[in-house]
């Protein structure tokens, strides 16, 4: 308990310093006056009694220092004074401050931006139900498959569900007298059912529906003004009306990954689709691969193609995240190399910014060599001087108080 009481008293000192100083001053004045009264009663004159009492009491400055040291948290005191001095030093040297802040802002800003883009594009997990059991299927070494072959795989019932989507499309939206080109994605009727992509408003596309659309949060706010009654609204897309049935969440991440997010999902069977399958509970990818191989051989028999073999190079990969990047093989190498190059370039920019700031601070420190020599001659420690170089720190009252403050480099206010 004594330890925690001491900690509490030291913390309280930080917020009651002026009161403490006032009470300490009154206490010392009381002791000196009481001793002076005793001496005056012994026969000394009043002025001589006060001088004698002060001599017996000793240095009031030293008494203050010793008393404060029992209450202070020195490192917090030093940090506070360092930060106060740094703020004033930066304010006095505005040209240096602007140059340093500009260099660091450029380096840090570019690095943060590229890191955010790389994380979003490469490592973000898709927005779906249980992404671990959702896989992307590649047959014949290709992630795309014609619709007739897709229906064959779906009818085989090898998985809990097989869905498809096509992201390589542009949709023309007619809004009044103006037309806009939108990034659209055509999906099969069971796409939302298989993937379990959540919606923030309305409902997802259901099996068997046609001429309906689910829009993204960005399209809803940017193009439709965040209309709360958007569900049920009709959009003229490619000259055909589509009814909005749902709005996706703000943080929606598409299965295709790599930072791509379309404006809307449409129910219209495309020519080709990318395949996604939901594994049954407890089934591993190896077991799913074993189950898929004979189906692909049957697919070769039903849909023979001289240019490809469906049962060749069959692959089940993760739907997104780091696993997908690791399993991407040759397709993922150019993308990963591109982002590695960006990270290297931004790292060089950060190094250049740090070198610029270091040069500025080194030049300023060189001009302050005489000042440092004076501070060391007054008793300043090397550690405190190093902290001053690192945080541009020193006692904020050094130019206003007696040299005793500078000689300690640790007195209250320093």
Distance CA(95)–CA(279), nearest Å, equals 62
- Number of domains, the chain: 3
Length of the chain equals 414
Distance CA(164)–CA(157), nearest Å, equals 15
The residue among 64, 90, 115 whose CA lies nearest residue 392 is 90
Instruction: Give the residue, 76 or 250, on which the prediction is more confident.
Output: 250
Contact 409, 376 (CB under 8 A): no
The pLDDT of residue 276: 92
Domain boundary among 67, 84, 109: 67
Residue 44 lies in a domain: yes
The pLDDT of residue 216: 93
Residue 324 lies in a domain: no
What is the average pLDDT across 91-114? 81
What is the average pLDDT across 372-385? 76
Q: Which tens digits make up the pLDDT trace of 60-74?
A: 887 877 777 666 666
Separation of first and last alpha carbons in the chain:
31
Residues 166 and 203 in one domain: yes
Residue 106 has pLDDT above 50, yes or no: yes
The pLDDT of residue 397: 34
Residues 341 and 277 in one domain: no
240, β-bridge pairs: 237
What is the average pLDDT across 234-242? 91
The pLDDT of residue 9: 66
Instruction: Give the residue, 247 or 339, on which the prediction is more confident.
Output: 247
Distance CA(224)–CA(104), nearest Å, equals 39
The pLDDT of residue 258: 56
Contact 325, 122 (CB under 8 A): yes
The pLDDT of residue 394: 36
Residues 138 and 91 in one domain: no
C-alpha atoms less than 13 angstroms from C-alpha of 178 in its C-beta half-sphere: 4
* Global pTM value: 0.58
Q: Which two tokens stand for residue 388?
A: 């001053």
The pLDDT of residue 13: 67
Residue 404 lies in a domain: yes
The pLDDT of residue 44: 87
Cα 385 to its chain centre, rounded Å, is 34
The pLDDT of residue 389: 65
The pLDDT of residue 172: 92
Distance CA(226)–CA(133), nearest Å, equals 34
Mean pLDDT (the chain) is: 80
Q: Could you give the dihedral angle defined by the CA atoms of residues 219, 222, 223 and 224, in that order, rounded to the nearest 10 degrees? A: 90
The pLDDT of residue 408: 37
Residues 160 and 240 in one domain: yes
The H or E element containing residue 187 is strand 178-187
Residue 102 has pLDDT above 80, yes or no: yes
The pLDDT of residue 410: 39
Distance CA(80)–CA(65), nearest Å, equals 18
Domain boundary among 285, 319, 353: 319
Residue 63 is part of which domain span? 1-67
Question: What DSSP assignment string belongs to 153-178?
Answer: HHHTT-SSEEEEEEEEEEEEEEETTE
Residue 292 lies in a domain: yes
Give percent of the chain above pLDDT 90: 21
What is the average pLDDT across 132-138? 88
Residue 325 lies in a domain: no
Residues 3 and 43 in one domain: yes
Say whether 373 sits in a helix, a strand or coil: helix
Q: Which of left, alpha, beta for 38 (phi over 0: left; psi -120 to 50: alpha)?
A: alpha
Residues 180 and 285 in one domain: yes
What is the average pLDDT across 122-131? 79
Residue 341 has pLDDT above 80, yes or no: yes
Domain boundary among 263, 292, 319: 319
Residues 114 and 222 in one domain: no
Per DSSP, 123 falls in state I
Q: Which two tokens stand for residue 152?
A: 């064959």
Q: Which two tokens stand for residue 235?
A: 């959009």
The residue among 127, 73, 123 whose CA lies nearest residue 326 is 123
Neighbours of 204 (CB within 10 A): 20
The pLDDT of residue 385: 73
Residues 169 and 240 in one domain: yes
Q: Which two tokens stand for residue 247?
A: 């709005």
Distance CA(159)–CA(198), nearest Å, equals 21
Specify the pairing of strand 201-202 against strand 240-247.
antiparallel
Q: Which two tokens stand for residue 128?
A: 């779906």
Residues 165 and 203 in one domain: yes
Residues 198 and 256 in one domain: yes
Residues 388 and 336 in one domain: yes
Residues 156 and 270 in one domain: yes
What is the average pLDDT across 354-358? 84
Burial of 389 (0-12, 13-18, 19+ CB in 10 A): middle
């Amino acid at each position: 308990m004594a330890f925690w009481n001491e900690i509490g008293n030291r913390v309280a000192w930080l917020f009651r310093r002026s009161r403490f100083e006032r009470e300490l001053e009154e206490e010392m004045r009381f002791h000196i006056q009481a001793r002076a009264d005793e001496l005056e009663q012994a026969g000394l004159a009043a002025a001589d009694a006060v001088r004698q009492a002060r001599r017996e009491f000793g240095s009031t400055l030293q008494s203050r220092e010793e008393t404060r040291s029992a209450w202070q948290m020195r490192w917090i005191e030093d940090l506070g004074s360092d930060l106060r001095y740094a703020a004033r030093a930066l304010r006095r040297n505005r040209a240096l401050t602007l140059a340093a802040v500009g260099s660091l802002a450029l380096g840090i800003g570019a690095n943060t931006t590229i890191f955010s883009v790389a994380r979003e594009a490469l490592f973000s997990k898709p927005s779906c139900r249980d992404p671990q059991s959702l896989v992307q299927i590649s047959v014949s070494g290709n992630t795309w498959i014609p619709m007739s072959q897709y229906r064959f795989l779906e009818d085989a019932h090898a998985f809990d569900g097989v869905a498809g989507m096509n992201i390589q499309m542009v949709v023309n939206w007619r809004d009044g007298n103006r037309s806009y080109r939108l990034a659209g994605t055509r999906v099969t009727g069971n796409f939302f059912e298989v993937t379990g992509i959540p919606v923030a408003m309305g409902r997802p596309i259901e099996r068997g529906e046609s001429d309906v659309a689910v829009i993204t949060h960005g399209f809803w706010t940017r193009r439709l003004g965040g209309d709360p009654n958007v569900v049920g609204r009709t959009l003229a897309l490619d000259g055909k009306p589509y009814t909005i049935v749902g709005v996706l969440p703000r943080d929606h991440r598409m299965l295709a990954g790599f930072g791509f997010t379309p404006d809307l999902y449409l129910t219209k069977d495309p020519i080709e689709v990318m395949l996604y399958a939901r594994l049954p509970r407890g089934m591993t990818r190896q077991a799913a691969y074993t189950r898929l191989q004979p189906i692909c051989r049957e697919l070769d028999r039903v849909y023979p193609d001289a240019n490809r073999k469906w049962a060749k190079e069959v692959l089940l990969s993760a739907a997104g995240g780091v696993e997908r990047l690791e399993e991407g093989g040759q397709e993922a190498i150019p993308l990963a190399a591109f982002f590695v190059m960006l990270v290297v370039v931004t790292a060089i920019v950060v190094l250049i910014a740090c070198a610029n700031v270091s040069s500025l601070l080194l030049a300023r420190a060189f001009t302050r060599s005489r000042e440092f020599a004076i501070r060391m001659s007054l008793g300043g420690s090397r550690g405190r001087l190093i902290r001053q170089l690192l945080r541009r720190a020193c006692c904020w009252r050094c130019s206003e108080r007696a040299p005793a403050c500078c000689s300690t480099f640790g007195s209250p206010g320093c």
